[in-house]
Amino acid sequence: MPNVYDPTKKLFRNAQGYIPRAKVRAEIDKLIKHVQKQARKLARDYEQTGNIITFEQEMRDLLKSAHIVAASVGRGGRQRMTARDWGVVGAKIKWQYGYLAKFAAKVAKGTVQAISESRAASYASAVYTSYAKMDVQEQTVDPTRETVRLVLNAKESCAECSADAARGWVNFEDMKPLFTRLCGDFCRCHLEFSSGELDVPDITGIAMRVVFGDE
């Protein structure tokens, strides 16, 4: 049985049962690490070839694919993505393209002498936002759930996120939406609902399988 999304419980499930959102998120983290690894490779390739056009195009392709995968998983599968959803993802991709183009232009002009692997890998961090914004939209469609709490995921969270996490379980309407605190789009927190998620064995590769159906 492939991974399918149950909109009533807002969870993916397969033959083993429902998949906790925390485990889906872990796969998104793996996706981001994969993008970081590939970006570092592209930086090394550039140091060998000096071809900034190839570097920029391959980075664009890498980031576009990652954002599409991340957003689709957050929304409950690619088939659930709406025109508005694609617009949101497209805007994020365009935003990254803009920064990438400016950086490539500086390299071409000699303003920046080299492309560091860490600089290239840093573009991967924005991929999480494409997942999280779709996930938040999906999870807040039904505000009748009992209670919710904020779960921190960053090594250093902003003061507002730390304060809200310390409150523990609160009524849904008393929880400030994600991405509206001091950290803005850089927020890496997620919401956990008291309706609960079942504890099932770890699922590997779900991010790719959910979107592309590679079962």
CA distance 39 to 54: 12
CA distance 113 to 63: 23
Residue 90 inside a domain? The answer is: yes
Q: Which residues make Cβ contacts (< 8 Å) with residue 186, sequence separation at least 6?
A: 125, 129
Q: pLDDT at position 215, please? A: 41
Cβ proximity of 4 and 79 under 8 Å: no
Same domain, 52 and 137: yes
How many distinct structural domains can be found in the chain?
2
CA dihedral 17, 80, 34, 165 (to 10 degrees): -70
Same domain, 40 and 99: yes
Same domain, 32 and 132: yes
Same domain, 91 and 195: no
CA distance 98 to 188: 23
Does an H or E element contain 211, and which?
helix 206-212
CA distance 106 to 116: 13
pLDDT, greater one: 88 or 147: 88
pLDDT digits (tens, 9 = 90+) for 117-167: 888 888 888 888 888 878 766 666 554 556 778 888 777 888 998 999 998
Same domain, 158 and 121: no
Q: In the chain, which ranges are E strands?
A: 4-6, 11-14, 17-19, 147-151, 170-171, 190-193
Q: What are phi and psi of 174, to 5 degrees?
A: -95, 0
Residue 186 inside a domain? The answer is: yes
pLDDT digits (tens, 9 = 90+) for 9-58: 888 888 888 888 888 888 888 899 999 999 999 999 999 999 999 999 99
Does an H or E element contain 194, and which?
none
* Full domain range(s) for residue 167: 142-200
Same domain, 115 and 59: yes
Amino acid at position 205, single letter: G
Same domain, 182 and 114: no
